[in-house]
Chains A and B, each alone.
Chain A
């Protein structure tokens, strides 16, 4: 194998891994859009909020400490204990369920039947509100997130590929973990929607919410459920991205990485989000590797959108999206 081919193979493998991380973010968008037709602009901020809450709970941080101190003249910051990662994840999930309930109770319930653009606007408001709440609740400093996930070069892959090709491939252990978790997550989501009563109700609402309502399915409950599941996906994405870069406010910008994935994979398909993520990941990395040096580099952000646009032109509903049929 020539050096260039070996390097390209390494780039493709890393692109696939990066694609999984993009897909993790895209999944949250798909879940909510599929069930309620809402493009949830706040999905990135939900990942940030979930990750901040997780770190806060793990570190025993007092929520709203700055506010409490300012009002009562106190100087409290921490409870003085640390919470194990698994328990903290469970507690964070509880907070995300509460958030889902609050979103449904105070925002979405009042907007039933409104135009999609109104619902979209509501999620923009929600995103900025949630960002502010996260700041007030946990502070704006950059936090280290360590839930015990391995990071760095996978030595086995490095040694094995070096033995075969004379060049050791770099694969990040965290990316391997993310791939396994994404696979488990998708399997769990599919199993949930296929084999549980609530999952089937969720699918019924996604297909036709008026028909679902007529057979006694509670829309309120299903939407809280959908936002909770999206919150769980956001938590998983927040853990993966937060482990890489620390938990900080720019974590909400990972949503930008999900948009081309959604354009490509469709807004209503879970397999679409995964395959879309992989195509975007490989496409942008390969383009950067092959063409980047000729045009000064930094092509990944815009090329992902070019790739998505090309797919959009030929298949507006996305790779796996439901075909749009308008009958007159």
Chain B
């Protein structure tokens, strides 16, 4: 009997675990809990891209990709548990999908030699590859977002925003406070007046903040929100009749989820982005043929083309391209996490490559190096059309203020290096 049980257990273990030759991409997803509405489309997009590569191309460099999904519920402790339980299964790169989880994983993953890709979130100064050897945050980070918003305002104001009043409505957390320092520096540089209005978690009640905005009459409002805070903010802005075209959210405040509850009132609201929106790209035809219609989609297939689905798909594409680069550098198909890190550090995304992948103008062009783990920091702007219920990219992916951001990154990463006795690399 014991023998039988042991055989069954072993068979189950083999069946449940990835094949040794697979390229394993853990997906720390959150399909349950208060933030599931945002977690599901990202996780679907991330998984579906790898399914497409497996079904259409036979994997990456001939090796099948295996997405190892672990539910975090957007909870930092669970995220760390997911990391610990999956890292021994050949994990190549972690996309923690939470700034809190990223902060916890930075020392752990660095010690384990596994790279982290915190795309558009996490520790901004991780862009400095000299200090953060295993953390990558290309193609853009929060400070790029802040600068991208200001640059966009400069552009629509003929290059002059001196004397303009800009209010920042932010989630009162480490994440929400990220852009403040950058915006303060940029306000000194460009002469705009900045006011910062924190909103406590979860953000269901924002009357005080929006009454203040109504009294102060800022020219523009920027938002660093998350979850229910976004929907309430868009509704409150509409309630006080703040011009929606002057209201710009960070990319985590710019999905369909954030604007649909306000209905027509959300029309014209803008959000920053580092990837394109919609399905009007050749790759989506393949996705439909090999994944959705074939019944192999990770979810119900109803999220395809939404902002967060596209973000998950884009993250998977960047991971796959880095894996290809790693295979090229190491000369072997069955790469390790260390090879993957090298691949990420040598990643170069050109428009020709994007077109070849069936994603022309889907994301910014950028290159990664030992010193620069954040790419070229190009940021675009999208706008919501409430009638057609679609987002549109209304600007190109444009450069941000490297001078201001570079100094802040250097300062923050140097402090981290000193605290943690890290000797700068890339010499």
Distance of A57 Cα from B207 Cα, bound (Å):
30
Given contacts A18-B207, A246-B261, A253-B34, contact A298 B198 (CB under 8 A): yes
A10 to chain B: closest residue by CB: B211
Do A245 and B208 form a contact, CB below 8 Å, given A141-B37, A253-B202?
no
Report A-chain residues with C-beta under 8 Å of the C-beta of B240: 153, 170
Interface: A34 (CB within 8 A): no
Do the beta carbons of B211 and A248 come within 8 Å of each other? no
Q: Quick check: is B328 within 8 A (CB to CB) of the other chain?
A: no
The closest CB in chain B to the CB of A257 belongs to B205
Q: Confirm or deny: A116 has a beta carbon within 8 angstroms of a beta carbon on chain B.
A: no
Q: Given A140-B40, A249-B36, decide whether A285 and B207 contact each other with a Cβ distance below 8 A.
A: yes
The smallest C-beta distance from B253 to any residue of chain A, in angstroms, reads 13
B197–A297 contact, CB under 8 A? yes
Of the residues B200, B212, B228, B265, contact of A298 by C-beta under 8 Å: B200
Query: B205–A141 contact, CB under 8 A?
Result: no
Question: Assuming A14-B207, A298-B200, A300-B200, is B235 touching A244 (CB within 8 A)?
Answer: yes
Q: Nearest Cβ in chain A — how far from B220, in angstroms? A: 19
CB distance from A20 to the nearest CB of B (A): 12
Looking at the assembled complex, report how far the CB atom of B258 sits from the nearest CB atom of chain A, in whole angstroms: 8
Q: Is B62 an interface residue (CB 8 A)?
A: no
B199 neighbours in A (Cβ, 8 Å)? 298
Question: Would A140 and B36 be within 8 Å (CB), given that A7-B215, A10-B211, A152-B239 are in contact?
Answer: yes
In the bound complex, do residue A140 and residue B37 qualify as a contact, i.e. CB atoms below 8 Å apart? yes
What is the size category of the interface that chain B forms with chain A? 35 or more
Question: 0/1 per residue, A264-284, Cβ < 8 Å to B?
Answer: 000000000000000000000
Considering the chains assembled together, what is the distance between the CA atoms of A39 and B302 in angstroms? Answer: 40
Asked if A298 meets B36 with Cβ closer than 8 Å, knowing A140-B31, A253-B204, the reply is: no
For window 1-19 of A, CB contacts with B under 8 Å fall at 7, 10-11, 14, 17-18
Q: Is A289 an interface residue (CB 8 A)?
A: yes
B350 within 8 A of A: no
Task: Find residues 18-50 in chain B having any chain A CB closer than 8 Å to their own CB.
Answer: 31-37, 40
User: Across the interface, do B261 and A245 meet the contact criterion of CB distance under 8 Å?
Assistant: yes
Residue of A nearest to B295 (CB): A73
Contact between A11 and B200 (Cβ–Cβ < 8 Å)?
no
> Is the pair B235, A151 in contact by a Cβ cutoff of 8 Å?
yes
A244 to chain B, nearest CB (A): 6
CB proximity to A under 8 Å, residues B350-386:
none
Q: Does B214 contact A (CB under 8 A)?
A: yes
Chain A residues within an 8 Å CB radius of B215? 7
Across the interface, do B33 and A244 meet the contact criterion of CB distance under 8 Å?
no
A121 interface residue (CB < 8 Å to B)? no
Chain B: which residue is nearest A158 at the CB level? B241
B74 CB to closest chain A CB, in angstroms?
A: 11
Q: Which residues of A contact B76 (CB under 8 A)?
A: none
Q: List the A side residues contacting B263 at CB < 8 Å.
A: 144, 146
A54→B32 CA distance, assembly (Å): 21
Asked whether B172 is an interface residue with its Cβ less than 8 Å from the other chain, the reply is yes
Q: How far is the CB of B386 from chain A (nearest CB, A)?
A: 11
Q: Is the CB of B208 within 8 A of A300?
A: yes
The reply to whether A296 and B204 contact each other, CB–CB distance below 8 Å, is: no
A254 within 8 Å of B (CB atoms): yes
> Is A142 part of the contact surface with B, judged by Cβ < 8 Å?
yes
Complex Cα distance, B196 from A160, in Å, reads: 31
Which residues of chain B are within 8 angstroms of A77 by Cβ–Cβ distance? 300, 302
- Shortest distance in angstroms between A281's beta carbon and chain B's nearest beta carbon? 9
Given contacts A245-B231, A254-B204, contact A14 B211 (CB under 8 A): yes
**Is A301 positioned at the interface, with any CB of B under 8 Å from its CB?**
yes
Name the B residues within 8 Å of A250 (CB-CB).
34-35, 202, 204, 227-228
With a cutoff of 8 Å between Cβ atoms, the chain B residues found around residue A254 in the complex are 204
Q: Which residues of B contact A (CB under 8 A)?
A: 31-37, 40, 172, 196-202, 204-205, 207-209, 211-212, 214-215, 227-228, 231-232, 235, 238-241, 257, 260-261, 263, 265, 300, 302
Q: Can you name 14 extra interface pairs (CB under 8 A) apart from A14-B208, A152-B239, A250-B202?
A: A7-B211, A14-B207, A18-B207, A140-B40, A142-B261, A144-B261, A144-B263, A245-B231, A245-B261, A248-B34, A249-B36, A250-B34, A253-B228, A297-B198
- Shortest Cβ-Cβ A-B pairs, 10 listed: A246-B261, A140-B36, A298-B198, A250-B228, A298-B172, A301-B200, A250-B34, A249-B34, A288-B208, A297-B198
Can you report 18 residue pairs joining A to B where beta carbons are below 8 Å apart? A7-B211, A14-B211, A77-B300, A142-B231, A151-B235, A151-B265, A152-B241, A153-B239, A245-B204, A245-B235, A248-B231, A248-B257, A249-B36, A251-B204, A288-B208, A289-B212, A292-B208, A297-B196
